[in-house]
Amino acid sequence: MSPPDRTPQPARCGAWRTLWRCLRLVEHITTGVLILGFVSLISREGARPAWLPSVVQWWYQRESRALGLRVEVTGRLASGCLLVSNHISWLDVTVLGAQGPLGFLSKSEVRGWPLIGWMSGVVGTLFIERGAHQVGTVTAEITARIGRGCSLVIFPEGTTSEGGGVGRFYPPLFSIALQPGLGVQPVAISYRCADAPAPDRSIAFVGDQTLVANLWRVLRHPGLVARVQFLAPIHPGPADDRRSLSGRARSAILAALDLPQGPPSVRRRPGRPS
């Protein structure tokens, strides 16, 4: 039996505000389905409309507002870089996707999720099967996307953690950034209550939570703030390999989050890599 969750819980917002957020989220998802349904109809041979990345960014910005989530951003999105971020929640995709024309690399299981898998595929998410040595097959596509000015985000921990640390980064993914002309931009994500500076780990998608249960926590949160830090890009030198590059990116994120350097020791989401 899993130990009880002793994570301190913040106060909850009122019932009417929660109901309003629920209604806004349902309308927001319906809007997304209609837009992507139209995109699916007009797309031919995999070619998506040129305006789609801007619409997707707008949709993520709108989702943040529907959830009552405020996003604070420091730094700037760099061009020609693979973005690597720590991973706390499904919300990470929302807050990052609202910052620019970003694509995501996701585990293959997401493709089979009801509605979410279909929507992810239409907007151009790349799927990779964990443990199937598929990095080489997606490298060319990722490099081409970055060359077209569309940055791609990976979560190299392979799963979520509660935010009290950063897990080991999966080095093979960093071989992508060793391509000539590319680099890595670390991104640090954290969450807090609007009235408290300390990190709020109650909304982390970890343990045995279901997506619905975690979403309910977010909808009832009195004032959730996400902080996104775009850190200085790392351009690999002659002595860098994928392992050293992953270590440098992880160290930069730990420093930005004011977390101790060292080997990972975090509460992770078992059996559900992301």
Provide the pLDDT for residue 227. Answer: 95
Cα 196–228–261 angle (5° rounding)? 85
Task: Give the separation between CA 8 and CA 57, rounded to whole angstroms.
Answer: 33
Beta-ladder partners of 106: 127
Cα 51–53–55 angle (5° rounding)? 70
3-state secondary structure of 70: strand
Q: Which residue has the tokens 């270590």?
A: 247
Provide the pLDDT for residue 274. Answer: 44
Walking along the chain (274 residues) 10 residues at a time, the average pLDDT comes out as: 51 80 95 93 79 93 95 92 92 93 83 84 80 65 76 88 87 81 92 87 87 91 94 89 91 94 59 43
Residue 113 backbone phi and psi in degrees, to 5: -70, 135
- For 155, residues 6+ apart whose C-beta sits below 8 A from its C-beta are 84, 85, 86, 87, 92, 105, 274
Provide the pLDDT for residue 272. Answer: 44
DSSP codes of every residue in 11-63 = PPPPHHHHHHHHHHHHHHHHHHHHHHHHHHHH-BTTBPPTTHHHHHHHHHHHH
Task: Give the separation between CA 82 and CA 167, rounded to whole angstroms.
Answer: 19
205, amino acid identity = F
